Amino acid sequence: MSEREQSSGAVALLRERLASGRLLPVRRALHALNPAEIANLLESLPPRQRKVVWEMVSPEDDGEVLLHLGDDVRTALMRQMDVHELVAAAEELDIDDLADFVEHLPETVTQQVLKALDADDRARLEAVLAYEPDTAGGLMNTDTVTVRPDVTLDVVQRYLRLRGELPAHTDALFVVDRYSHYLGALPLDRILTRGADELVSGVMARERDVLKASLSEERVAKQFEDADLVSAAVVDDRNVLVGRITIDDVVDVIRRDAEHKLMSLAGLDEDEDIFAPVRGAARRRAVWLGINLLTAFFASSVVDLFQGSISKVVALAVLMPVVASMGGIGGSQTLTLMIRSLALGQIGSHNWRFLLRKELAVALINGVLWALVVGAVSWWWFASPMLALVVGLAIVINQTIAALAGIFVPLTLHKFGVDPALAGSVILTTFTDVCGFFSLLALGTLILL
């Protein structure tokens, strides 16, 4: 704990010192932080201070710190490094991290990094790079410790004493035959608690989860979560052990996936640097604003159809935002529920009809309830019972359409392989705006004029 308090104290101290410009003690405070904490600190600093702190990070931490940064901040910092520094940073990394790292390097630097590795490490790195980065193969490390099934635990233990330190997060050795085919796992605690003369084959866990190298990283994360794994073997199509995945990398996948959903809903990139240069940030967000503008003009053109009605009953213009926004909120609730459930794989052909009926029922109940409230308020406000009827009907219609859109928009996007979190909310609010305006103004024209 004291160490921990020290290190979060160090961050506060660092910020204070950076603000005051007294830099001498900052370097020492920085050494108390682990790479993830340094990365978090760097992300929270405006560019000028970020540069100052980055230059103080010890070279052996450079690689790991870079890996913990979002894409944008990493790219900016790497642009300031020369080839020699990049190669040095790469050399400090584990193979799985290195595979991530070289993805972000220019081709020429990658060649330099490969040259700097010894033949073994190069072969290992190439093995990982052969897989897509977002699969089990791309996520894995190659630092497996293997034993044969026909030796005793005593022999295993003597081997381990000779070998010395195990790779981080090793909770099990892997048992393979002479052709490296995966046979099972030998958890460390079994080596310690079972008899020294027992055979590995009798002690090993055969039923432990093992991952195909081609498995997507989302599936890997799900499997780790569901089976409470700390590490799992990765095998290729012929059941040959090629590496292992550890929980720390899976936690990163889970966190990144969650950030992706949150940020996508606002049309942002999850790697966005909060202190990104204004020009780049403005350009990226402009895309989303532009898409939204098209849909807003579409909604406006619906209003435009009813200019005559509005000029006669201006109260319709006053009530337009109410109908549209209630539909937007109702639809977003259904949409968010769908996004979560689709991500968890809980929605399929067997249950979406049930879900549709339920969401429609919820929308109808709330539609009627709030139609009565809005109708009553409008009656009192504009002294017109017919206007109250119009706005009430419009709300019921729009809430119903919002529920339909909340179900079918994400289902359709999902079917075509588009992430519903990314495009869902813009499409949905287009529906609810257009239908809200249309139902209010068309009913108004029919009933009031």
- Which residues, 6+ apart, have CB-to-CB distance to 57 below 8 Å? 30, 38, 65
Q: Can residue 205 be called a binding residue for its own copies (CB under 8 A)?
A: no
Rounded CA gap, 260 and 421, in Å? 9
Which residue in the set 366, 398, 400, 445 belongs to the binding site for its own copies (CB under 8 A)?
366
Task: Write down the least CB distance from residue 91 to its own copies, Å.
Answer: 20
Sequence-ordered alpha helix ranges (H) in 344-384: 352-382
Rounded CA gap, 244 and 379, in Å? 68
Which residue in the set 319, 396, 413, 443 belongs to the binding site for its own copies (CB under 8 A)?
319
Instruction: Report 64-103 residues binding its own copies (CB under 8 A).
Output: none
Sequence-ordered alpha helix ranges (H) in 69-187: 71-79, 83-91, 95-103, 107-116, 119-129, 136-139, 153-163
Instruction: Report 144-203 residues binding its own copies (CB under 8 A).
Output: 157, 160-161, 163-166, 168-171, 188-189, 191-195
Instruction: Report 273-302 residues binding its own copies (CB under 8 A).
Output: 274-276, 278-279, 281-282, 285-286, 288-290, 292-293, 295-297, 299-300
Q: Can residue 347 be called a binding residue for its own copies (CB under 8 A)?
A: yes
- Which residues, 6+ apart, have CB-to-CB distance to 172 below 8 Å? 185, 186, 187, 188, 205, 208, 231
Rounded CA gap, 273 and 44, in Å? 9
Residue number with CB closer to its own copies (81 or 411): 411
Nearest to 395 by CA among 344, 349, 331, 345: 331
Instruction: Report 242-261 residues binding its own copies (CB under 8 A).
Output: 247-248, 250-252, 254-255, 258-259, 261
Does an H or E element contain 17, and which?
Answer: helix 2-20
Task: Write down the least CB distance from residue 105 to its own copies, Å.
Answer: 23
Q: Can residue 339 be called a binding residue for its own copies (CB under 8 A)?
A: yes
Q: Can residue 228 be called a binding residue for its own copies (CB under 8 A)?
A: yes
- DSSP helix/strand/coil, 228: coil
Residue number with CB closer to its own copies (204 or 320): 320
Amino acid at 322: V
Task: Write down the least CB distance from residue 135 to its own copies, Å.
Answer: 13
Size of the site for its own copies (CB under 8 A): 131
Nearest to 398 by CA among 351, 364, 357: 364
Which residue in the set 90, 183, 265, 427 belongs to the binding site for its own copies (CB under 8 A)?
265
Which residue in the set 333, 372, 414, 442 belongs to the binding site for its own copies (CB under 8 A)?
333
Residue number with CB closer to its own copies (79 or 163): 163
Residue number with CB closer to its own copies (45 or 105): 45
102 phi and psi angles, rounded to 5 deg: -65, -25
